[in-house]
Amino acid sequence: MKIEAPITAVLEQFRSHPRFLITSHARPDGDAIGSVLATAEILEQMGRECVVVLADEIPLIYRTVPNIDRIRLTKDAREVEPDLATPAVLLECDGIPRTGLAGLEGRKLINIDHHASGRTFGAVNWIDENACAVAAMVYKLALAAGVKLTPSMATCLYTAIISDTGSFTYATTTADTFALAHDLAAHGADPSQIARDLYFSNPESKIRLLGTALSNLQTEGALAWSWVTTNDMDRAGAGAEDCEGVVNYLISIEGVESAVFLRELPSVDQYRLSIRSKGKVDVAQIAETFGGGGHRSASGCTLDGPLDVATEKVLQQLRTGLCSPCLVSLPK
């Protein structure tokens, strides 16, 4: 196997330090969670120590991922790793702020990302926009390091890939994605059990909130949007993670090219936006305009309220985007 230069650079770092801190973005998703855990196993098989840190709570659907209890939740990395000489591995972050963690400044940073918004902020940077998940990069790292692909690693990586590809439906899903999934299943990932944990283990609150969100549905030509207020969330007994995936119902409508879901944030006049596109509009660019980030077909950002102002702001961008569809073609 020919090893790409950035992989060699990352492995060089892995070999030259005794201990690492591994983290990913705030509000972690399946890719973030699966990938930090698999990276920890790689490092440990290489004889390194590591501590896995995330800023926010693990969503319920990921609580059965192997070794999930080793993830330390804190807003300050120094609480779990005070020694600033310990390098930090940042998975799918476009900078330190994305982690939601204090205490990373001054450390050597190893940056591994697959987002269009990826930036070279680290001492070592490996950014592959075509990777279907950062987990696909972690998998390559495991092969290049020559470590054993354990059933727990395979399960973590498969969980990450199925969630980041929308169950193998997004544009980044290629023959390579299935080759990767095949290898992970061959090494102990159980596709049906993982699907059951991810898709058939929703809390009732999530489905009740979905009902509210869907009853707020608005459409205008190829645009669809919807929202929930903190009141709606309280009534459903729902938390932030119950809003995950609501936007996918909006983009699932025939003829809709772009969709937005807005969630009111508690105790500030702000809204968290999830934006989706079927390909005509580059929603990573739109999210970046508002200080957010993501992929061409899936992105997120935060906007100031009130609701109608935030909604109009993003719709305006999307209307413009639909009038002049992005010239960059999506990867097949």
State which residue, 92 or 242, has the beta carbon closest to Mn ion: 92
State which residue, 117 or 285, has the beta carbon closest to Mn ion: 117
Taking the C-alpha atoms of residue 76 and residue 78, their distance in angstroms, rounded to an integer, is: 5
28-36, 63-71, 81-89, 232-240 -> range binding Mn ion (CB under 5 A): 28-36
Q: How far is the CB of 134 from Mn ion (least distance, A)?
A: 5
**Closest residue by beta carbon to Mn ion:** 31
Applying CB under 5 A, does 31 fall inside the site for Mn ion?
yes
Angle, CA of 120, 126 and 128, to the nearest 5°:
105
State which residue, 174 or 270, has the beta carbon closest to Mn ion: 174
58-66, 160-168, 180-188, 275-283 -> range binding Mn ion (CB under 5 A): 160-168
Site string for Mn ion, 201-230 (x = CB under 5 A): ------------------------------
State which residue, 31 or 257, has the beta carbon closest to Mn ion: 31
Site for Mn ion in 88-117 (CB under 5 A): 92
Q: How far is the CB of 96 from Mn ion (least distance, A)?
A: 18
State which residue, 142 or 310, has the beta carbon closest to Mn ion: 142
Q: How far is the CB of 195 from Mn ion (least distance, A)?
A: 18
Size of the site for Mn ion (CB under 5 A): 5
State which residue, 158 or 225, has the beta carbon closest to Mn ion: 158
Site string for Mn ion, 117-136 (x = CB under 5 A): ----------------xx--
Contacts to Mn ion by CB under 5 A: 31, 92, 133-134, 164
